[in-house]
Amino acid sequence: MDKKRRQIVAGNWKMNLNQRQAIELTNDINEYISDHTIPEQLKVVICPSLPYVASCAGDVWEDTKPIFGVGGQNCHTESSGAYTGETAPEMLRDVGCEYVLIGHSERRKYFNESHAFLAEKVNKALDVGLIPIFCCGEALDIREAGTHEAHVATQLRESLFHLSKENFERVIIAYEPVWAIGTGKTATPEQAQSMHAAIRQLIEQQYGKDTANSVSILYGGSCKPANAASLFSQPDVDGGLIGGASLKAESFTKLIEIMMGEMGNL
């Protein structure tokens, strides 16, 4: 398939790996990228846990930088102040991050992050020049009730659709059905494609066809080498946000290879 949009293979390391492992994995990814001819519309992103973000960002090799970016897993809405335990988006920028995950289902569930708060985070991240990877997706009961598209539409409307067209075009969307995250249960390629197409349709209604066609929509939820080709080959799936399979160089680089194959670059 000829994929024209920016394609992304992003690793969400969550609260995993120690310092040595984080640095080793960053270097293994550097090596892989350096050893291969990666098309420039493919981006590889890692989101290490906070204590290691700065060293991982600093460890990205000069020659892999155009392809390889680092992101935070979360950020606050303020630039500084009395917010113990929080991280300003400026701080992520300062240590070399280009991306930040916003609205991951684990943040929504365990930290009660509301639509409005996420909208503020998106604004702030864009203000400081970070690219938000905005996560959306439904829990199992919502999928079973058949209201998953309406649910995701609300998440997008409440936290993203206030953006200007120009700002919206800088956002990456990750559709992650909650029932597929860390469970080993992946959405079928048809389920993923159908939701991605619905998301693109909503974007078209809000911002027009050009914007809808330009925004990258990633799939996340038990995506791994064994199922990635069938997911990445879907016309509206522009890559993956990968948890478990991003923690080992072997599986993560295999996912990059699979994506290159889908892009016709192998």
Q: What is the binding site for ligand PGA (CB under 6 A)?
A: 12, 176, 181-182, 220-223, 241-245
Q: Is 242 helix (H, G, I), strand (E, B) or coil?
A: strand
CB of 106 to ligand PGA, least distance (A): 7
CA pair distance 143, 140, nearest whole angstrom: 5
CB of 11 to ligand PGA, least distance (A): 9
DSSP state string for 92-143? HHHTT--EEEES-HHHHHHS---HHHHHHHHHHHHHTT-EEEEEE---HHHH
Nearer to ligand PGA (CB atom), residue 212 or residue 222: 222
| Residue carrying the six token digits 């959405």 | 187
CA pair distance 127, 163, nearest whole angstrom: 12
Q: What's the token pair of residue 1?
A: 């398939």
CB of 223 to ligand PGA, least distance (A): 5
Nearer to ligand PGA (CB atom), residue 174 or residue 212: 174
| Residue 151 a catalytic site member | no
Nearer to ligand PGA (CB atom), residue 162 or residue 185: 185
CB of 171 to ligand PGA, least distance (A): 16
Q: How far apart are the first and last CA of the chain?
A: 12
Q: Which residues contact 15 (CB under 8 A, 6 or more apart)?
A: 49
> Is 134:171 a contact under the CB 8 Å cutoff?
yes
CB of 182 to ligand PGA, least distance (A): 4
Nearer to ligand PGA (CB atom), residue 212 or residue 217: 217
Nearer to ligand PGA (CB atom), residue 10 or residue 38: 10
Catalytic residue among 104, 106, 113, 196: 104
CB of 242 to ligand PGA, least distance (A): 5
Catalytic residue among 106, 176, 196, 262: 176
Query: In angstroms, what CA-CA distances link 72 with 41, 94, 133, 234, 251?
Result: 21, 12, 10, 27, 21
Q: Which residues contact 109 (CB under 8 A, 6 or more apart)?
A: 178
Q: Which residues contact 251 (CB under 8 A, 6 or more apart)?
A: 224, 225, 245
Q: What residue is closest to ligand PGA based on CB?
A: 243
| Residue 176 a catalytic site member | yes
Nearer to ligand PGA (CB atom), residue 207 or residue 224: 224
* Residues designated as active site: 104, 176
